[in-house]
Amino acid sequence: MDEVKNVIELKNVTKDYGDFKLDNVSFAVPEGTVCGFIGQNGAGKTTTINLILDVIRRDSGDITLFGEPVNKDTSYLREDIGVVFDEMGFHEFMTGRDINIMMKNIYKNWDEEVFFDNLKKFSLPSKKKCGAFSRGMRMKLQIAVALSHNAKLLIMDEPTSGLDPIVRNEMINIFREFVVEEDHTILLSSHITSDLEKIADEVVFINAGKIVLVGNKDEILEKHGILKCRKDDASRVSESLIVHSEVSDYGAEILVNDRHTAEKLYPGMVIENAPLEDIMIHYVNAKR
């Protein structure tokens, strides 16, 4: 079996702003996967992405892209990376045709034919100023650009935030098409966990600048569960199984980190599937 290659690797990466610290962050994104990067607003997702792209410099730790260390001498690696941010990075007076001319001078692998095909595919007019685009159209324009220079890696920061469910689903299908090719990889930062449940293979969960969970999405969902019981029965649950509990006069809701063990130990209690959103909320509340 071929060894799995990591397209992105972070080892003990730290960035200290004084009032916020990205603290000893380590994770990897295997080639050919969609990695969901989750966490609440302000958790450190954008800072991490900017460090990966070398937009800001880390205080310590190591970052590699495609097996190459990220530093001032490896800016050529950006040729293989498509980037989509929460805000459109183009001047509002620019049209698709203007953007094509600009990108031809930025990316060596820019494919004009693919770009205009993408504009048609995403129903984006090439002669209309992008300042007049809706939010969904602006995000699709960024994706059209990202997919038009033969990128092997897409890095996206909250690309579906603020979009209606129909447009979000359309964009998820675009991401699926991209990653069908085995050497294509996506790092998708989002706090909309329902989107990531549809598409992600791997999950990295960051909270307050620290990595809380890393692993295969399906395994994380399989491992965790929401245990529901009477208030009096909550004290019977082993502390080693509890991530966080919410107890009221009406009963208790407990996120357990090993649902199969909990099912064996407490056969009379109800244990339900825990969606990513509930897992994230409980882990965040456990740290407070």
For every one of its 288 residues, what pLDDT tens digit does the chain have, with 9 covering 90 and above? 456 799 999 999 999 999 999 999 999 999 999 999 999 888 999 999 999 999 999 999 999 999 999 987 777 888 899 998 877 788 999 999 999 999 999 899 999 999 999 999 889 999 999 999 998 899 889 989 999 998 999 999 888 877 888 888 888 888 898 998 778 999 999 888 888 999 999 999 999 999 999 999 999 999 999 999 999 999 999 999 999 999 988 899 999 999 999 999 999 899 999 999 999 999 999 877
pTM assigned to the model:
0.91
Residues 168 and 228 in one domain: no
Residues 182 and 228 in one domain: no
Contacting residues for 100 by C-beta, under 8 A, at least 6 apart: 112, 115, 116, 126
Domain holding 40: CATH number? 3.40.50.300
Domain boundary, last residue among 220, 248, 278: 220
Contacting residues for 240 by C-beta, under 8 A, at least 6 apart: none
Residues 203 and 268 in one domain: no
- 96 occurs within a structural domain: yes
- 158 occurs within a structural domain: yes
- 1 occurs within a structural domain: no
Which domain covers residue 272, as residue numbers? 224-286
Residues 102 and 45 in one domain: yes
Domain boundary, last residue among 163, 189, 220: 220
- 256 occurs within a structural domain: yes
The count of structural domains within the chain is: 2
pLDDT at 2: 55
Residues 47 and 131 in one domain: yes
Residues 215 and 244 in one domain: no
Residues 166 and 91 in one domain: yes
Residues 73 and 176 in one domain: yes
Domain boundary, last residue among 182, 202, 220: 220
